[in-house]
Amino acid sequence: MTVLLTGCAGFIGSHLTQRLLQDGHRVIGVDNFSDFYSPTLKYENMECCLKHERFHLNKIDIRDYESLVKLLSRYEVDMIVHIAAMAGVRPSIAHPLDYHDVNVNGTVALLEACHQFDIKSFIFASSSSVYGNNAKVPFSESDPVDNPISPYAASKKAGELICHTYHHLYDISTICLRFFTVYGPRQRPDLAIRSFSEKMLKGEPIPVYGDGSTQRDYTYIEDIINGVMAAIAYVRGEQVYDIFNLGNSKTIPLKTMISTLEKALGIKAKKQELPMQPGDVTRTYADIEKSMRVLGYDPQTDFETGIEKFVSWLKKREMNT
């Protein structure tokens, strides 16, 4: 199978590229190597794949429809897996126009390309952010998601809606995957686990927003990739539009996350206490019953083990740079 994968050089995208190649697929990688964080880190993510004969890297912005058309004219693509996005809740409040442009217009460009080239399978990377401060827990795919509290969350909800539109109009089989706080090797440097770890290793204080009681459903990257691969297999065999949570279905308070890092790093964190930030949700918590039943999704990595694996990777990377 030939997969066009957007955001191939990012955290999740690079792991998915590696897995697809390992499983014998051909990957047409698309990434614009934006400066949201260092492009050097993204090329570092790609080191394991760049010389692979079934991997083709293309520096393209997903909003550039003409370039997408040229690319799809060169390859016979069976499926598009759309991971690329402007990511992050807090930056989206500062730059809402950019988030709408990339996350909504870029998704429309890819779906229109699907329509024009008769590509009938599409995977969209959504986010647990769409649930906002949902009072009901755990969050289920059937819950209303009409009250996003950040431009990022709103853009992901908009992406799910436009996916449904193209499924309805053109029979594009589509799955939207709501990722819950993914962590592990190659994690983006702006995300808390990596940011905190790097600051702790340097003896710098870590910013703690609120009283430490906010909770996240941390999900290890390998479990997420297994879920995406299950979704790929499912969407290929069904004429469907569907939404699935990919989480660990366990909540970890911020203060527990910090203490787990302290144990794994062998360093006591210096904390800078700050007020809660606009757009931050109080907790995320995935109901994964549907994903387990339909996709066979079954996350295996507990939080302490995942943190140990992440810290091992980070220390090895620090020694080699």
248-283 per-position pLDDT tens digit: 999 999 999 999 999 999 999 999 988 888 878 889
The mean per-residue pLDDT over the stretch 216-229 comes to 98
- C-alpha 223/C-alpha 177 separation (Å) is 13
**Please, what is the average pLDDT of the chain?**
95
- C-alpha 266/C-alpha 76 separation (Å) is 50
- Sorting pLDDT into bands at 50, 70 and 90, what band is 238? confident
Can you give the pLDDT at residue 320? 75
Tokens of 75: 């390859």
Classify domain 2-186+220-249+285-300 at the CATH superfamily level.
Answer: NAD(P)-binding Rossmann-like Domain (3.40.50.720)
Which is catalytic among the residues 37, 43, 99, 152?
152
The mean per-residue pLDDT over the stretch 102-120 comes to 98
Tokens of 97: 């126009």
Tokens of 105: 């217009």
Coil vs helix vs strand at 160:
helix
Can you give the pLDDT at residue 149? 93
Tokens of 142: 């059937």
- Is 152 labeled as catalytic in the residue annotation? yes
This prediction's pTM: 0.96
Other residues' Cβ atoms within 10 Å of the Cβ of residue 255: 16
Coil vs helix vs strand at 102:
helix
Q: Specify burial of residue 266 (Cβ count, 10 A radius: 0-12, 13-18, 19+).
A: exposed
Buried/exposed 114-141: b ≥16 CB within 10 Å, e otherwise:
beebebbbbbbbbbbbbbbebeebbbeb
Beta bridge partners of 219: 182
Q: Which amino acid is at 7?
A: G
Write the pLDDT tens digit of every residue in 148-176. Answer: 999 999 999 999 999 999 999 999 999 99
Closest CA to 300 of 244, 225, 197, 188: 225
- With a pLDDT cut of 90, the percent of the chain lying above it is 90
Other residues' Cβ atoms within 10 Å of the Cβ of residue 188: 19
Angle 179-69-31 from CA coordinates, rounded to 5°: 40
